[in-house]
Structures are given as C-alpha cells and as structure tokens.
Amino acid sequence: MGNDSVSNQKSVVRNAILGLQHLLAMYSGDILIPLLVGGALHFTALQMTYLVSTDIFMCGIATFLQIKRTPLTGIGLPVVLGCAVEYVAPLEAIGKNYGLAYMYGGIIIAGIFVMLMAKPFAKMRRFFPPVVTGSLITLIGFTLIPVAFQNMGGGDLTSKNFGQPLSLMIALVTAVTILILNIWGRGFLKQISILIGILVGTLLAFGMGIVNFKTVGQANWLQLPHFFYFATPKFEWSSALTMIMAAFICMIESTGVYFALADIVGKDLSDNDLERGYRSEGLSAILGGLFNTFPYSTFSQNVGIVQLSGIKTLAPVYYSAGMLVILGLVPKFGAIATLIPTSVLGGAMLVMFGMVGAQGIKMLSNVEMNNKNMLIIAISVGLGIGVTSVPSLFQYLPASVQTLMSNGMVVGGLAAVILNLLLNHTGVKDQVEEEL
C-alpha cells in the first residue's frame, strides 16, 4: 500500500512537471497575441493586464474542452489550445476600423461558423493538400514580418523615437538569444527558446531603466473573468467574413496538427474525431468573444513536446490546462507579462514569424512542382504579400471591403483554396500543361 502511495505521488509530480513543460512551450507564443493586439489598439496598462490574464484563463478552459471527449466535443489528443497568429492581423484591422464591439462580434461569428462547419469540413480533407496548407503557412509567417519590424523599432511609426538605437539593440539581443538557443540548445531548453529570449531582452531593458513595475503593484491578486469586459459584441458583415476566413485557415492548420499528433500516439482519426475537435475550437471561440478575449485553436509547437518527451498520455495536458486556469485568475501574472517592452516582442516575433514562414516553405518543398501547383503558390503568395505591403491599393473601396481586402492572409488563403479547387478538382485541370 505504501509503495503504491509513493508511486502515485511520483506519477503526480512527473505529470505536473510535464504539464509545466507544455505550458512553458506555449506560454510565450500565447501571451504575444494579447500584447500585440492590445498594443495595436492602444489598451491601457489595466486593460492589458485583464486581457492577458483572461486570455491565459481561457487557454486553460479551451484546452480542457479539447482533451476531454464528449459526444459533441473533444478530440482526446494531447493538444494545448491558444490564440493563433492567423488572427492577429484580422483582429487589429477590425479593432482599428470598427472598434472592439465588432471585433468581438466577429470572433463569435467565427466560432459559430466553425461549429456549423465541423461535420462537412471533416469530410473535405482531400481538398486541402500540402500545396494549399504550405502556401497558407508561408503567408501566415511572412505577412506578419512587417509587424515584427514595426515592434523592433518601438511600435509607433509616428513617434520621433521610432527606430532609436536602444530599441534596435534590445530587439537584436532578444532575437540572437533565441537563435543561439535554437542552434545549440537541446530538448526542453530549445523548446522554450522564445520565452528565454523574451526574459533576456526584458532583463536588459530593465537594466537600462525602461521597465516600470508599477502596473504589477497595482494589479489584483485575484480577479474572475466576466462577460463583455471591454464591449458588448456587435456584428458587421465584413468583420464577420474576415474572421470566418481566418477561422477557416485555422481549421486547415488544426487538421494538420490533429494528424501529426495522431501519428505520434498511434491513433487512427475518424471523421467523427475531427468533428469533435473542430467543435471544441468553435465553442472556445464563442466563449472568447463573450469574455472579450480571442478565438482559440491548436498550438503546433506542443506537438514537438509530445514527440520529444515520448509521453503520449493526456495526464500532463490536464495539469497544463489546470495551471493555465489558475494563472489566469491571478492578474499579477498578467501584469508581469505586460512589462515586456515592444522592441523585445519585435525581436521574438522576427524569429517566430520567420520560422512559421520557413515551415510553410518546407511543406511546399514536398509538393510536386508542376504548372498547376506553381500557379497556386505564385498567385496566392503573391496576392497575400502584395496586399499586406500596399494596403492603400484599395483606399477608394468602401471601408468594409478594405478591411477584407487589405488582409494578406485572408486574400492569399482564399486564393489558394479557390485555385486548388479550380486547377485540381474541375475540368480546368485538363487545360493546364503539367510541365513548365
């Protein structure tokens, strides 16, 4: 009996440590989203503290919804959920052009769309081959690189201090730290390279006197999330459509994560499994809109944790979800995250978004480069990067259309899906020469 008790205690400690590893692997990537979106929309320090804390809390809730199997939700794989980078540009565009109410309304509509599309989408996997997913992942990374550069310079392009040497040096130290850890780091150290880079950059900034701990002292020790903290959701067609397109792309990416995890744990995924996975993400997005946070989807970096650790059970992820919920209830943790200078975030984003783009290129390297696939890649990536670089191209269009058309990820993603359907699944494919 005593041996069993000791064994159980060891198991609890082991699973808790593995859960902490999952949390640390996704933590830096997830807190970046509220910091980026809140910063772009000029949130106050108090608002940022609430946003980060409640986002962390909702990550835990969303993860619980995904790992716990029910008749309608939960894929039951060791996956952690957070806000995906695909949503950054759409959320910022909607928030700036229409306000927070429409941003949260768009999130709710996106969640409803995902839930309604769960069943048909589970049967459509053949329409999203690597040429589509690779183009989308490439766009996700490269269309966000300008945001990284803006943050490296201090965030505000109109400021007279934008691009000052101190900001650039802090951003460079952050990026180089992450780079060094990715080259020479091993295992867990490499997995949390972004978190360590952010810590090093922030400590450097603190040493130079540009980090103020005042917000941490003012933050509460306990705060419960509640509905409509910032705004009561409102609805507008272009905002809703923009968020639906971002959600659609996230569904494609999540599908890849589901199959990667299923392969690692040795499980065959049925259409019903995929349905429950999509529904969990849709429900999480609806809750995000109601609690004024974000939509949530799978975090692909945690796939590497499962593979490296060799632990394929759900227990560590349950611990990770529980830790996220507890951290989210303590605003002081959220306040600490808001101390990170913009230039530090820029340095981390440069590496993170660049790696996302590189992952897309890696996926495309396995695609047969016939004329059809080359056209899909060329047009979708070209459109996505083009509208991101020159959004003023659509300045004479209505504001609602501008919101949709100036988002490179949405425009390029839609082009990739349509061109793939046209060139690979209709009679048009017979009109295109296979060889260049």
Range 303-326 average pLDDT: 73
Residue that wins the pLDDT comparison between 310 and 139: 139
Is 436 among the domain residues? no
Residue 4 has pLDDT above 60, yes or no: no
**Strand intervals (E) in 238-339:** 297-298
209 within some domain? yes
Q: Give the pLDDT of residue 216.
A: 63
Domain contains 31: yes
Q: What is the pLDDT of residue 349?
A: 78
Measure CA 114 to chain center: 16
CA distance 87 to 245: 10
Identify the pLDDT of residue 107: 94
Q: How many domains is the chain partitioned into structurally? A: 1
Q: Distance (Å, rounded) from C-alpha 178 to C-alpha 167?
A: 17
Q: Which of 182-196, 299-313, 337-351 has the highest mean pLDDT?
A: 337-351
Q: Residue 47: inside a domain, yes or no?
A: yes
pLDDT of residue 334: 64
- Reported as a single tens digit per residue, the pLDDT across 270-297 is 889 889 999 999 999 999 999 999 898 8
Please compute the mean of the pLDDT values over residues 299-326 and round it to a whole number: 72
Tokens of 335: 């306040």
Those residues whose C-beta lies under 8 Å from the C-beta of residue 31, and which sit 6 or more positions away, are 52, 55, 56, 337
Which pLDDT score is estimated for 403?
66
What's the rounded Cα separation, in Å, for the pair 65 and 141? 28
pLDDT of residue 425: 73
Q: Residue 121: inside a domain, yes or no?
A: yes
Domain residue limits at 270: 2-431
The answer on pLDDT for 305 being more than 60 is no
Structure tokens at 294: 């974000």
Q: What is the mean pLDDT of the chain?
A: 80
Distances (CA, A) of 109 to 105, 113, 244, 245, 378: 6, 6, 7, 11, 31
Ordered alpha helix ranges (H), 159-270: 165-184, 187-191, 193-207, 214-218, 237-265
pLDDT computed for residue 250 by the predictor: 82
Phi, psi of 432 (to 5 degrees): -105, 125
- The yes-or-no verdict on residue 106 having pLDDT over 90 is yes
The answer to whether the CB of 168 falls within 8 A of the CB of 347 is no
Does the pLDDT at position 434 exceed 60?
no
Mean pLDDT of 399-426: 79
